[in-house]
Amino acid sequence: MIEQIIQEIEGKGWSHRTGVIGPTELAEIKDFFDHRRSEFVPAKVGKGENLQRAENIRGDYTFWIDPHEPPATFRHLVHFLTELKEALNGHFFLGLKDFECHLAYYPPGTYYTKHSDRHGLESSRVLSFIFYLHDEWNENDGGELVIYDKDDSILETVKPVPGSFICFLSEKFPHEVKPAKRERRSFTGWMHRKILY
């Protein structure tokens, strides 16, 4: 699967794969969310003194994970990301050093407006990634990830299929999360050119 991801990134700058996480693992992840929900905090926007909660921009709640000491439930995903990082470096010579990640849930009706994951030259983010962790999703539930090019044209609309994975080059693709009719859960993060931990 990692070889296919590499080929797709080389061809178009992103990759979307289904069936990365199986039903048994998704059930274990559901238990983690349910038991640790009180530890999730409202996501904020901005930096430094301007950091604030702005539900008109994003409405998710997050739980940060140290990829060097992840909870047992997420070790498989961290291992997958470590292998992917090494493969990306081997193929593209990206100089990826580390990655950061968090769990997120979007309550029904919430969203994240169009934004970029990399702001200016000071950012070390190279690759953005998302695993979809809810245990079921219906055709009309919404919550799609919409990927744009730099001219604001829609390139892809990705349904948040349970157990699927998407990654894309952070500097190239603005994107947004559409409102959903049910809670949308994910494991999200970025690969960096610097050591974070």
Residue 143 is assigned to a structural domain of this protein: yes
Question: What's residue 133's pLDDT?
Answer: 97
Which domain range does residue 112 map to?
2-41+57-192
Residue 106 is assigned to a structural domain of this protein: yes
125 close to 117: Cβ distance less than 8 angstroms: yes
Question: What's residue 123's pLDDT?
Answer: 81
Mind listing the pLDDT tens digit of every residue in the chain (197 residues)?
Answer: 999 999 999 999 999 999 999 999 999 999 999 999 999 999 999 888 888 998 999 999 999 999 999 999 999 999 999 999 999 999 999 999 999 999 999 999 999 999 999 876 668 999 999 999 998 999 899 999 999 999 999 999 999 999 999 999 999 999 999 999 999 999 999 999 998 87
Question: What's residue 120's pLDDT?
Answer: 67
The number of domains in the chain is 1
- Helix intervals (H) in 120-170: none
Residue 47 is assigned to a structural domain of this protein: no
Strands 175-177 and 61-65, bridge-based pairing: unpaired
CATH number for the domain including 99?
2.60.120.620
Residue 50 is assigned to a structural domain of this protein: no
Question: What's residue 122's pLDDT?
Answer: 67
Residue 68 is assigned to a structural domain of this protein: yes
The 3-state DSSP class for residue 23 equals helix
Token output for 123:
């950012």
Give the Cα separation of 182 and 17 in Å (integer): 22
Residue 72 is assigned to a structural domain of this protein: yes
Residue 85 is assigned to a structural domain of this protein: yes
Residue 170 is assigned to a structural domain of this protein: yes
Question: Phi and psi of 184, rounded to 5°?
Answer: -110, 125
